[in-house]
């Protein structure tokens, strides 16, 4: 029997390890492979022969792995370029050396490009005993063909929970105190994460990268909101941009309506605009930064279970020796109750595309999202896995790359 290897790439998520756990568990249930190796720090570590042996992972460790955020195998930003034949050859020879038949690569669209490139290279060179399989993950939810990406829903749940909680926080003072609260989320090119804050039902103004930012229209909305209730809750994506495509957080080169230099992130930029305009006397900015993608202590149960099952599905499909250059995916079933079915798609159909938040789901004048958007988002954040704690904090596995 031969072996397989699994590796993770790109930015971490709250449930990225559940996919690893799914692959390991599937191989325990049906040992298609002799050993399940973990490649440490993605392709970069595999090329340096840095492996962990995950084959005989205990059920307890498998469980803790599923609740551990951020890539437990480590990650990398190293991209296998299609013209870098040297890397391809080295990887294939290492797979030979360690009798590895299948590489499972967990990542976003860059990683799916790697999966596609490797399987193309193998086909072109008549290599038939190697398989390259992609497993999706990204908090940004911007992969094509899949209904939603593992990792997104847990980040969305944390963002919506934080919106609800900080909305309560900013509203406690009397109406004599005017205040704007700005929540900044990730999402350089797609507004899914920012939009998910609307699940709280508390967002007055929402600025997405898919919408055109217009400062006058924005300030007008803030004014209206402050006049009506003295408080205003704003959510902005880090990727918010003007009609010409410039990020609103573009920095010193950009001056606001009132001639002030704009500094820092999107949230800080909006704050500067509001204070300069006098639309409100006070403003607070909360940038969720890294916390939103690593907050596994409040995972969505749906997200975690799907992430685990996608790992199992990848393993099970790979028993077919012709299964390569594919990504495992899920689509929503028709019907009232939320349910998904699993399928597979060519990795090159996913690589290098971005799925934007649909324009038809965006309400005019930054007023948030439609009911259709909420109906899409709501089922994804349902359920909360029972969390194992140790000494008052979530119990996590020690990262394999540090062992």
Please list the active-site residues: 140
User: Which residue number, 336 or 360, has a Cβ lying nearer to its own copies?
Assistant: 336
Task: Kindly indicate which of the ranges 104-112, 138-146, 253-261, 395-403 contains the residues binding its own copies, using the contact rule CB under 8 A.
Answer: 395-403
Residue selected from 34, 56, 89, 382 as contacting its own copies according to rule CB under 8 A: 382
393 makes contact with its own copies (CB under 8 A): yes
CB 282 within 8 A of CB 182: no
Residue 336 to residues 196, 238, 270, 333, 394, Cα–Cα distance (Å): 21, 34, 39, 9, 35
212 makes contact with its own copies (CB under 8 A): no
41 makes contact with its own copies (CB under 8 A): yes
Residue selected from 293, 315, 326, 355 as contacting its own copies according to rule CB under 8 A: 293
Reference 291, options 41, 70, 76, 66; nearest CA is 70
108 makes contact with its own copies (CB under 8 A): no
Taking the complex as a whole, how short is the minimal distance between the CB of residue 279 and its own copies, in angstroms?
20
The angle subtended at Cα 255 by Cα 254 and Cα 256, nearest 5°, is: 120
164 makes contact with its own copies (CB under 8 A): yes
45 makes contact with its own copies (CB under 8 A): yes
Strand spans (E) along 179-279: 179-185, 205-207, 212-213, 231-237, 241-242
Alpha carbons 273 and 262: distance in angstroms, whole number: 8
Q: Is the dihedral of CA 297, 299, 305, 311 positive or negative?
A: negative
228 makes contact with its own copies (CB under 8 A): no
Task: Kindly indicate which of the ranges 80-88, 168-176, 307-315, 354-362 contains the residues binding its own copies, using the contact rule CB under 8 A.
Answer: 168-176
Alpha carbons 187 and 287: distance in angstroms, whole number: 12
H helices present in 68-147, as ranges? 85-97, 109-124
Alpha carbons 221 and 59: distance in angstroms, whole number: 53
381 makes contact with its own copies (CB under 8 A): yes
Number of residues that bind its own copies (CB under 8 A): 65
Residue selected from 76, 133, 205, 329 as contacting its own copies according to rule CB under 8 A: 76
392 makes contact with its own copies (CB under 8 A): yes
Q: Phi and psi at residue 242, in whole multiples of 5°?
A: -75, 170
172 makes contact with its own copies (CB under 8 A): yes
Q: How many CA atoms lie within 13 A of 388 on its CB side?
A: 12
Task: Kindly indicate which of the ranges 56-64, 119-127, 167-175, 350-358 contains the residues binding its own copies, using the contact rule CB under 8 A.
Answer: 167-175
Residue selected from 189, 212, 254, 383 as contacting its own copies according to rule CB under 8 A: 383
188 makes contact with its own copies (CB under 8 A): no
Considering just the CA atoms, what is the radius of gyration of the chain in Å?
A: 23
Taking the complex as a whole, how short is the minimal distance between the CB of residue 95 and its own copies, in angstroms?
20
159 makes contact with its own copies (CB under 8 A): no
CB 123 within 8 A of CB 144: no
Reference 403, options 47, 72, 84; nearest CA is 72
User: Which residue number, 132 or 181, has a Cβ lying nearer to its own copies?
Assistant: 181
Reference 198, options 384, 385, 11, 381; nearest CA is 381
147 makes contact with its own copies (CB under 8 A): no
DSSP string, 8-66: E-SS--SSHHHHHHHHHHHHHHS-SSS-EEEETTHHHHHHTT-EEE-TT--HHHHHHHH
CB 40 within 8 A of CB 74: yes
Sequence-ordered list of residues with C-beta below 8 angstroms from that of 142, at least 6 positions apart, any chain: 108, 109, 149, 189, 190, 192, 354, 355, 356
Residue selected from 250, 291, 354, 363 as contacting its own copies according to rule CB under 8 A: 291
Residue selected from 157, 304, 309, 326 as contacting its own copies according to rule CB under 8 A: 157
Residue selected from 110, 220, 298, 346 as contacting its own copies according to rule CB under 8 A: 298
324 makes contact with its own copies (CB under 8 A): no
Task: Kindly indicate which of the ranges 117-125, 169-177, 232-240, 359-367 contains the residues binding its own copies, using the contact rule CB under 8 A.
Answer: 169-177
75 makes contact with its own copies (CB under 8 A): yes
Residues that bind its own copies in the complex, under the rule CB under 8 A? 8, 12, 41, 44-45, 68-71, 74-77, 157, 160-162, 164-166, 168-174, 177, 181, 199-200, 263-264, 284-291, 293-298, 300, 378-384, 387, 389, 391-394, 396, 399, 401-402
């Amino acid at each position: 029997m031969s072996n397989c290897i699994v590796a993770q790439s790109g930015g971490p998520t709250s449930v990225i390890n559940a996919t690893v756990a799914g692959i390991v568990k599937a191989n325990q249930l049906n040992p298609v492979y002799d050993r399940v190796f973990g490649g440490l720090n993605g392709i970069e570590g595999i090329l340096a022969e840095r492996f962990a042996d995950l084959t005989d992972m205990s059920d307890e460790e498998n469980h803790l792995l599923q609740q551990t955020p951020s890539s437990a195998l480590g990650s990398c930003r190293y991209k296998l370029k299609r013209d870098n034949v040297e890397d391809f050859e080295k990887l294939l020879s290492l797979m030979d050396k360690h009798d590895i038949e299948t590489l499972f690569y967990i990542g976003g669209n860059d990683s799916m490009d790697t999966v596609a490139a490797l399987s193309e290279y193998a086909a072109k060179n008549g290599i038939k005993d190697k398989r390259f399989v992609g497993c999706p993950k990204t908090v940004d939810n911007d992969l094509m063909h899949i209904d939603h990406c593992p990792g997104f829903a847990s980040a969305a749940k944390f963002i919506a929970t934080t919106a609800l909680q900080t909305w309560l926080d900013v509203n406690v003072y009397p109406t004599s105190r005017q205040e704007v609260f700005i929540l900044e989320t990730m999402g350089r090119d797609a507004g899914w994460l920012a939009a998910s804050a609307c699940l709280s039902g508390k967002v007055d103004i929402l600025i997405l990268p898919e919408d055109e930012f217009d400062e006058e229209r924005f300030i007008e909305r803030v004014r209206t909101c402050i006049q009506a209730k003295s408080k205003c809750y704003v959510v902005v994506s880090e990727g918010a941009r003007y009609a010409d495509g410039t990020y609103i957080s573009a920095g010193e080169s950009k001056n606001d309506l009132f001639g002030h230099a704009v500094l820092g992130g999107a949230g800080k930029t909006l704050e500067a605009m509001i204070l300069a305009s006098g639309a409100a006397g006070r403003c607070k900015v909360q940038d969720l930064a890294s916390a939103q993608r690593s907050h596994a202590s409040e995972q969505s149960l749906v997200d975690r279970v799907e992430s685990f099952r996608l790992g199992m599905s990848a393993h099970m499909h790979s028993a077919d020796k012709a299964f390569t250059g594919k990504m495992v995916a899920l689509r929503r079933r028709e019907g009232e109750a939320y349910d998904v079915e699993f399928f597979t798609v060519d990795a090159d159909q996913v690589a290098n595309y971005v799925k934007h938040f649909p324009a038809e789901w965006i309400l005019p004048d930054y007023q948030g999202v439609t009911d259709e958007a909420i109906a899409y988002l709501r089922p994804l954040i349902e359920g909360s896995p029972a969390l194992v704690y140790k000494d008052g904090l979530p119990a996590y596995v020690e990262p394999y790359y540090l062992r």
